[in-house]
Amino acid sequence: MNGADDNQGSRELGEIIEILRAAVDTMIPADEWPGGWDGGVQRLIAEHGNGFLSRLRPLLTKACEALDLAAISTHSAGFAAVSDEEKREILDQVSGQPETTEAVEAIATLAFQGFYAGTSAPAGWEMLGFNPGPTAVSGEKYDEGTPLNRIAADYDVIIVGAGAGGGVVAAELADKGAHVLLIERARPMRASELRSNHLQGKRMQAYDTTAGPGAGNPRLLELSDGSVMTLPGEGDGGEYGLNAMTLGGGTRLWQGMSWRFYEEDFAMASTYGKPEGSTLADWPVSYRDLAPFYDRVEWELGVSGDAASDMARRTPRSRPYPMPALPGDEVRTILSASASTLGWKSSPVPFAINSIPRAGRPACAACGQCVGHACPVNAKNGTQNTFIPRALATGRCDLLMSAQATAVLHNGCGVATGVRVVVTTAEETQERVIRGRQIVVTAGAVETARLLLASGLGNEWVGRNHHTHGIATATALTGPRFEPRRGPGHSVASVDWVHRDRKAWGGGVIVDAPAMYPYTQAVLGRTAGHRWGLEHKRWMREIGAPLGTMSMVQEIPDSSSRVSIDPKVVDRNGMPVARLRGDAHPATREAVDFMVDRCVEWLEASSGRDIIRNVLYTAPQGAEHSAGTARMADDPALGATSAEGLLYGTRNVFVADASLHPTNGGFNPGLTVMANAMRVASTIH
């Protein structure tokens, strides 16, 4: 917003502030704890200003005017002046009118986000006993990258994207003696910037996103009715795709669940058949091909787990995990016992988190906010603190940050010559062309496809086969309760429904649901009928942390799902934006519906009752597990790249991220992305 808009926004806010405060404190009234206004909303407005309010302000103004009008018409006094009981009656009345329901919900959004999420340590955190842990690493070191004036004119290898795949490839090739440039779009960020309030964390990203692309970086989503929706680069991270744009990519903010795919995951079409309307295919490599790279990544990244568990035994390995599993908790005890009554096996979750001090970094501190946030003690392992430092330590790898690759340059005959990058600093924006003998694209499934398409590279499979995971969740509103849980937030898993009896298209792993952040719990309460008022606050305090389960379900890629580039819309650097569309294949819906029943079954066996079930069949806009847009195949008629990641139609352009995955397994794919990137790097000379 410009200055004039900001000033106007302040005048409008000032005119309704008394009404707004009264409404917020009616929704979250004071008891032994502060009301919503003093408990966080006032500070949220002060900290985020009109940039935050610009999205809610028209609705807030409409709601406050409607509340005031209703109060005057029935009580001859403004809303802020009537009694508390009258305020509640008016709120119920106005919120029940179709023309003002959405506007009143905007006040509720403001109230609940401010009290439970929107500032550092809002009152709702203390009320629920939520402890996020340290806000930053003491004495933290972070890499600002190589200054632009020290970037060479040419390199042996240029890698676009310093996430899971790019970080591994950089380390492998620098170790082999190549002169490497690793390009990262994000600016340098301290851990403290990635551990603040929950509304700026990767899981919420409601306002002023920290690890998102920022303003001027939209995507377009084609909806089933033919309309097109703009997904802004700032704002709701779930809407945009839950991307993490920072050094290390998703591995800096992930929860670190590190599973190997099963043998059947590499042969889905052979195992289950190809359903009509899908693009289901086998991988051109097998589990046996990837096993030695899984082993290396587990040890070089650092994974804690139980090699004797049923889960580990189903993926043949040459040695155990480098660290024992993270300690158990009450949730693991309860769900393990109930799994036994069902005849299921269960085991600890393997995590890329130090369970013991390792590699000069401490063990997990079990902070209250793991997933979506940087680790406060640097115990969470990602490429930013393992593979990338290893690459830089060789002296043969440069790291260029705040740099967006807008094109891979080539001679039109399949030979890439370099990349065009736009480097943005606080002082200026510069465009540079950097030459490279080999180009490796590791920007994530959406951005990799976008870059290749914008560069005019690849065959008709580039951008096709886009898929993520189906998600099934179940939450028991009645049953076992816990104190606010500590990190990492998951504890126990069952793999009994992964490729079991050829049911549910491979199904997926079931784990305990992630530990709920206070705002997530508040939204659950409103969904369950605890709308607002003192009753809501009592419910929040009494329910504790509810028991939940969730499944990461194998998605059957649909032929309609793809990433393309828009012919007209460009981002702030003039690059065509990604255009996404897609639907969930009926086979995916079948699998998700089957697995949500298993999630409920596990809860019921654990004495869970009043169960809320929720399903997500696909994420056409992209998600943190996006895959498949440059899939591997032995034949260019069946995929975009060879088994070695070489882009068909080129001699020296490789892909080494989740874009290569023909299918994405029934697990979090991070470990597989890194293992496969290591395998691809072994073929690049």
DSSP string, 42-55: HHHHHHHHHHHHHH
Q: Which two tokens stand for residue 232?
A: 């802004």
Q: Which of 6-15, 192-201, 406-415 has the highest mean pLDDT?
A: 406-415
pLDDT range class, residue 123, cuts 50, 70, 90: very high
Q: Quick one: what percent of the chain has pLDDT higher than 70?
A: 94
pLDDT range class, residue 141, cuts 50, 70, 90: low
Of 109, 97, 25, 18, the C-alpha closest to 537 is: 25
Cα-to-chain-centroid distance, residue 472? 16
Q: Residue 477 belongs to what H/E stretch?
A: strand 470-478
Q: What is the pLDDT of residue 9?
A: 43
| DSSP code, position 621 | T
Q: Please report which residue ranges of 244-329 form alpha helices under DSSP H.
A: 250-253, 268-272, 287-297, 310-313
CA-to-CA distance for 660 and 641, rounded, in angstroms? 7
Of 110, 104, 121, the C-alpha closest to 52 is: 110
Q: Which region, left, alpha or beta, applies to residue 418 given φ > 0 means left and ψ of -120 to 50 means alpha?
A: left
pLDDT range class, residue 268, cuts 50, 70, 90: very high
* pLDDT > 50? residue 4: no
Q: What is the DSSP string of 411-464?
A: -SSS-EEEEEEEEE-SS-EEEEEEEEEEEEE-S-HHHHHHHHHHTT-S-TTTTB
Per-residue pLDDT reduced to its tens digit, 651-663: 999 999 999 999 9
* pLDDT > 90? residue 481: no
Q: Give the pLDDT mean for 200-217.
A: 75
Per-residue pLDDT reduced to its tens digit, 561-594: 999 999 999 999 999 999 999 999 999 999 999 9
Of 366, 337, 348, 324, the C-alpha closest to 483 is: 366
* pLDDT > 60? residue 643: yes
Strand, coil or helix: 611: strand
Residue 221 phi, psi (nearest 5): -120, 120
Q: What is the pLDDT of residue 208?
A: 61
* pLDDT > 70? residue 106: yes
Residue with the larger pLDDT of the pair 45 and 671? 671
Token pair 């793999």 is found at: 495
Q: What is the pLDDT of residue 236?
A: 67
Q: What is the pLDDT of residue 47?
A: 80
Q: Which two tokens stand for residue 613?
A: 């079930």
* pLDDT > 80? residue 81: yes
Q: What is the pLDDT of residue 139?
A: 60
Residue 231: what residue type? L
pLDDT range class, residue 51, cuts 50, 70, 90: low
Q: What is the pLDDT of residue 207?
A: 61
Q: Is 355 exposed, middle or buried (0-12, 13-18, 19+ CB in 10 A)?
A: buried
Q: Is the backbone peptide bond immediately before 98 cis, with ω within 30 degrees of 0?
A: no
- Minimum mean pLDDT range among 49-53, 83-87, 335-339, 396-400: 49-53
CA-to-CA distance for 178 and 685, rounded, in angstroms? 9
Q: What is the pLDDT of residue 192?
A: 82
- Model-wide pTM > 0.75: yes
Per-residue pLDDT reduced to its tens digit, 396-452: 999 999 999 999 999 999 999 999 999 998 888 999 999 999 999 999 999 999 999
Q: What is the pLDDT of residue 7?
A: 40
Q: What is the pLDDT of residue 402?
A: 96
Per-residue pLDDT reduced to its tens digit, 292-305: 999 999 999 999 99
Residue 578: what residue type? A
Mean pLDDT, all residues of the chain: 92
CA-to-CA distance for 600 and 616, rounded, in angstroms? 15
CB 656 within 8 A of CB 585: no
Bridge partners of 509?
A: 552
* pLDDT > 80? residue 204: no
Residue 450: what residue type? R
Of 315, 368, 631, 647, the C-alpha closest to 520 is: 368
* pLDDT > 70? residue 199: yes
CA-to-CA distance for 222 and 243, rounded, in angstroms? 19
CA-to-CA distance for 255 and 353, rounded, in angstroms? 8
The beta strands (E) that lie in 113-206 are given as 154-160, 180-183
* pLDDT > 80? residue 243: no
Half-sphere exposure for 63 (CA within 13 Å, toward CB): 30
Token pair 């919900």 is found at: 105
pLDDT range class, residue 381, cuts 50, 70, 90: very high
* pLDDT > 60? residue 205: no
Q: What is the pLDDT of residue 257?
A: 97
**Torsion 74-75-77-80 (CA) sign:** negative
CA-to-CA distance for 80 and 213, rounded, in angstroms? 40
Q: Which CATH number among 3.20.20.220, 1.25.40.10, 3.40.50.460, 3.50.50.60 corresponds to the domain 148-468+554-681?
A: 3.50.50.60
Domain boundaries, the chain: 3-128, 148-468+554-681
* pLDDT > 60? residue 26: yes
- CA distances to 121, 163, 375, 381, 448 from 131, rounded to whole Å, are 9, 29, 14, 22, 38
pLDDT range class, residue 6, cuts 50, 70, 90: very low
- CA distances to 475, 484, 489, 589, 596 from 599, rounded to whole Å, are 9, 21, 17, 15, 5
Q: Which two tokens stand for residue 56?
A: 């809610």
CB 438 within 8 A of CB 191: no
Bridge partners of 429?
A: 424
CA-to-CA distance for 182 and 401, rounded, in angstroms? 8
